[in-house]
Amino acid sequence: MRVLNLAAMHLRSLWNWRTVYLGRLIEPLAYLAFMVVGLNATLARLPYQGQILSYGEYVVPGIMALLGVRAGTAAVSDVSNDRKWGVYAFARLAGLSPSSYFASLVLAALPMAYTQTLGILILTLILLPGVAVSILAVSTLLALPLFLTCWIGVGALMGALIHSYSQRDLILSLVNLPIILTAPIFFSLESTPTFLKLMATVNPLTYQANLLRDLALGTPWHLNGTVTIVLALTLATLSIAALARSEWLTTER
Amino acid sequence: MSPLMVAEGLTKRYTTGVMALQDVSLQLDAGRYLGLVGPNGAGKSTLLNILGGFLQPTSGHVDRRVERVGWCPQQTVIDWSLTVLENVMLPARLFGLSARAARRAAYESLQLLGLETSSKTTAETLSGGQLQRVQIARALCTEPRLVLLDEPTTGLDVEGQDALWEDLNRRRSQGVGGLISSHDLDTLERECDSFLILRGGRMSASFDKSDLDHQAMEVLEVLPMNDEAKAAIARFADESGRAPTSGRAPTRDNSLWLLANELPPDLQGPSFQIQQHAMSLRSAYKAIGIVTRK
C-alpha cells in the first residue's frame, strides 16, 4: 500500500511539472505521425523473420519499445532528485525497502507509458491503416512493464551511483542516442553492416522491439522474450542493490 | 521510561578525512526531550542525520525502537516538484497514514506554523524561513513518536517559536520524545529535560535538567587582571585543550569559564578575579569546554 502512496507522489510530481514533461509525452507520437508515416509512403517494404512487412508494420512495435528507454532516461533524474530532495530518505525512514522504492518508480511510469501506447495505437489506426493494432495492443500491454523495469533499472542504477549532474549529463548524452540508433527500430538489421549488427546484439532495445514484432506477427518469440525477461530482472536487481548501498540523502546541489 | 532510540559508539569519518563524530552514545526516552548544543561544526547535524538513518556511521550502531520519526534537517531538503501541502504530507503517507488523515494532519501542522495559505503553492516560491516551517510541519505531520529536530526555530518569528514549543510540549505529555538541537540555549534550558554538549565531534558533557535546578556544578569565570595572568590563562587553555570563551572572540578580555573543581592553582591569586555564576545551560556550555583537536 505504501508503495502505491509513493507511486502516487511520483505521479503528483509529474502532474505538477506537466509542462516540462509534455515534450516527453508527445515525442513518440511525433515520431509516428511525421517520420514513420512519411517513410512508410516513401520506402519499400522491410524483411523480418522471413516475412515482408510494410515500413509501418515494422516500425510501430519499435516505437512502442522505445517508450521504455525514455522512461529510463527520466528515471536517472527522478532518482537523483529523490535522493537530493529527501523523497528516497523519507521512504527508507518509513521502512520502505529499496525494492519497494524501485517498484514505485515502475508503477509511476506505467500511466504515462500506457497513455503514450494508446496515442500511438490511435494514430496508427488513423495514419497507417495496414497495420494490425489489436494484437500489438495486447502485446504492448503485457510487455511494457518488462521494458520499463529494464530501462528504469538502468536509470536508477545511474541515479544511485553517479553524484554529479555534469557526469550524469555526459553519460546520458553518450549512451542515449547510440541505444536508440543501434537498435533495429527504424531500419531492418538484415541489410545493415556487420558493426551495426554487433552493436544491436548487445542492445536490450533490439530484443524488446523484436519481441513485440514476434508477438504481433506470430513468429517464435521465445529467444527475444527470454532475453527481455532476464535483462529486466538483472537490471532491476543491480539497481536495487545499488540503491541499498547508497546514502539515503545526497548533498548534491 | 521506555527508550525510543539507543545509539552506541557513533563515529563518523567523512571521505574527506574529517572526523565529524567520535564515540557518541545516547538514549532518547519517551516523554523527554534531549537538547543538543555545541558550536558550529561540532557534529550536531552529523549526529542527527545518523540517528535518522540518513547517514551511515563509520562505526557504532543505532537501535530505533519506534516506527514513526519526525525529522527536520538544518539544511533545506524539499521536493521542489511538489506543493507545500504535498511536501508536508509525503512522509505521513509513506508512514502509512491514509490520504485523509495525512491531509488533516498536514493542514494542522501548516496552520500551527502559519503556512495554511501557502499550502497549494510550490515550495520554490517560499522564503528560507518559510521553507524551514515547511520542514517542521512535515516532521510533525507524521504523528511521530520520536522527533529529531535540527535547529527547528531558526528563521521562525517569536510567535512561531512559541507555537512550536507549545505543540512539542503537548506531544511530550503524550509520550513523544526526541533530540532537539539549537543555539538558543535559554529556550533549550527551559523546554528540554536533559542536555548533551558536543564539541569537536565528542560528547563534552551530558547532564539532566535536575542538575541545573540543583546547581550540581559550580561554574566559575576567571578574569585576568594583567598581561601575566592573560598569558597564564592562554597557557592553561592550550595545555588543557580548551579555548578561552569557547574558542570564539573573547567577550570579556580573555576570560576563561570552567567548573569549580577544575580550577588549577596557577589561575588563583591576586592576578585573577574569580566570578561565580549560577549554573545554567549557558554557563555550563561555556565552562564545559573540552576542545578535542581533530
Q: Higher pLDDT residue, A25 or A179?
A: A179
- Burial of B158 from C-beta contacts in 10 A (0-12 / 13-18 / 19+): exposed
Asked if A17's CB is within 8 angstroms of B94's CB, the reply is no
Residue B130 lies in a domain: yes
Closest Cβ opposite residue B94 in set A17, A85, A96:
A96
Of A1, A5, A247, the CB nearest to B56: A247
Q: Note the pLDDT of residue B159.
A: 84
Number of domains in chain B: 2
- The answer to whether position B283 is within a domain reads no
Reference A210, options A235, A234, A227, A194; nearest CA is A227
Q: Are B140 and B273 in the same domain? A: no
Burial of B173 (0-12, 13-18, 19+ CB in 10 A): exposed
| B8 shares its domain with B87 | yes
Assess whether B186 and B254 both reside in one domain.
no
Say if B157 falls within a structural domain. Answer: yes
Residues B201 and B124 in one domain: yes
Q: Are strands B146-150 and B219-224 parallel, antiparallel or unpaired?
A: unpaired
Domain assignment of residue B213, yes or no = no
Report the percentage of chain A scoring pLDDT > 70.
99
Contacts of B94 in chain A (CB under 8 A): 2, 5-6, 90-91, 93-94, 96
* Residues recorded for chain B: 294
Cα B144 to Cα B146: distance, rounded to the nearest angstrom: 5
Residue for grid cell 503556512: B115
Query: In terms of Cα–Cα distance, which of A141, A159, A140 is closest to A102?
Result: A159
Sorting pLDDT into bands at 50, 70 and 90, what band is A23? confident
pLDDT digits (tens, 9 = 90+) for B278-288: 888 888 887 77
Residues B201 and B222 in one domain: no
CB B169 within 8 A of CB B15: no
The cell for A246 is 547508497
Residue-wise pLDDT for B44-92, tens only, equals: 999 999 999 888 899 999 999 998 999 999 888 999 999 999 999 999 9
CATH number of the domain that residue B67 is part of: 3.40.50.300
Q: Three-state DSSP class for A186?
A: coil
Written in H, E and C, the secondary structure of B267-286 is HCCCCEEEEEECCCHHHHHH
Q: Provide the edge-to-edge strand list for the sheet that holds B59-64.
A: B19-29, B3-13, B59-64
Q: Does B67 touch chain A (CB under 8 A)?
A: yes
Confirm or reject contact between A17 and chain B (CB < 8 A): yes
Q: Which of A9, A17, A81 sits opposite B93 (nearest CB)?
A: A9
Rounded Cα–Cα distance for residues A227 and B62 (Å): 42
How much is the pLDDT for B207?
Answer: 86
Residues of chain B with pLDDT under 70: 1, 241-253, 289-294
- Whether B179 and B257 share a structural domain: no
Q: Tell me, what's the pLDDT at B253? A: 59
The closest CB to that of A5, out of B69, B83, B94, belongs to B94
On average, the pLDDT of chain A sits at 90
Amino acid at B132: Q
Measured between beta carbons, the chain A residues lying within 8 angstroms of B77 are 85-86, 89, 249
A94 to chain B, any CB pair closer than 8 A? The answer is: yes
8 Å CB contact of A13 and B96: no
Looking at the fold, whether B21 and B84 belong to one and the same domain comes out as yes
B226 lies in the same domain as B202: no
B246 and B198 in a common domain: no
Testing the interface with A: which of B15, B50, B77, B79 to mutate, by most A Cβ within 10 A? B79
State how far the Cα of B55 lies from the Cα of B49, in Å rounded to an integer: 6
pLDDT of residue B123: 85
On whether both B32 and B134 belong to a single domain, the answer is yes
Determine contact: B4 vs chain A, CB below 8 A.
Answer: no
A164-169 average pLDDT score:
83
Q: Are residues B122 and B166 in the same domain?
A: yes
Range from A44-48, A170-174, A229-233 carrying the lowest mean pLDDT = A44-48
Residues B172 and B30 in one domain: yes
Domain range enclosing B260: 218-278
**C-beta separation of B106 from A109 below 8 A:** no
